[in-house]
Chains A and B, each alone.
Chain A
């Protein structure tokens, strides 16, 4: 399942959805709001081109499912205002064995970062800036 949400991510719920009787491995990835040293980050604003991002994440999920023989793959990305330490993205992959589950999880996060239309704005003591762009 793919989700883009303003609500807090519940990892336990995703793990529950990804469990399968024939899966011997469940790998989770959580991306969290990082305050780099001396940055003084106050919070992060996350924005999505929602319809296009869901379509892209669905495509990425299907690629991972078939490429690594995953049993399940759950992807949730936050939007809105996030505090330091909060989860921005969660990916949970289940597979018969750990190699496929790790590979599938890594594939999804790497592809998400390069293909999904999502943006982050850092608001810090010294001002604000869009990560990576205009």
Chain B
């Protein structure tokens, strides 16, 4: 299946603004992040602890709704989903 990844701020500089990826059926959010990390050592370093846990400051949206980075990493994605990856917000 195909999913879209968009990234902002520091993560945009590492991953690019937008890309489409083919991933296995029902891949989870964490598996998609791992695919991104496999293609970018810098993203792996910025987004993952050495233990393999996703760092606290990685914020995520699926289809423009915030997901809990600790609770929802096991959420299965479906074809056409959009994952947004960004650091803590700093507007205003």
Contacts and interface: CB of A to CB of B under 8 A. Distances in A.
Contacts of B86: 49, 117, 119, 133
A77 B64 contact: no
Interface residues of B, number: 20
Contacts of B16: none
A112 B87 contact: no
A133 B10 contact: yes
B9 A121 contact: yes
B68 to A, nearest CB: 15
A131 B57 CA distance: 12
A134 B84 contact: no
Interface string B1-17: 00000101111100000
A86 to B, nearest CB: 14
A83 to B, nearest CB: 17
Given A47-B9, A47-B12, A133-B10, A118 B90 contact: yes
9 contacts: A51-B64, A52-B61, A112-B92, A116-B89, A117-B91, A119-B8, A130-B9, A132-B88, A134-B10
Given A49-B8, A121-B9, A133-B87, 10 more contacts: A51-B64, A52-B64, A114-B89, A116-B89, A116-B92, A117-B61, A117-B86, A119-B90, A120-B91, A132-B88
Interface of A: 31, 46-49, 51-53, 55, 77, 88-89, 109, 112-121, 130-134
Q: Nearest 6 CB-CB pairs, A to B?
A: A133-B87, A118-B91, A134-B10, A119-B9, A131-B90, A134-B87
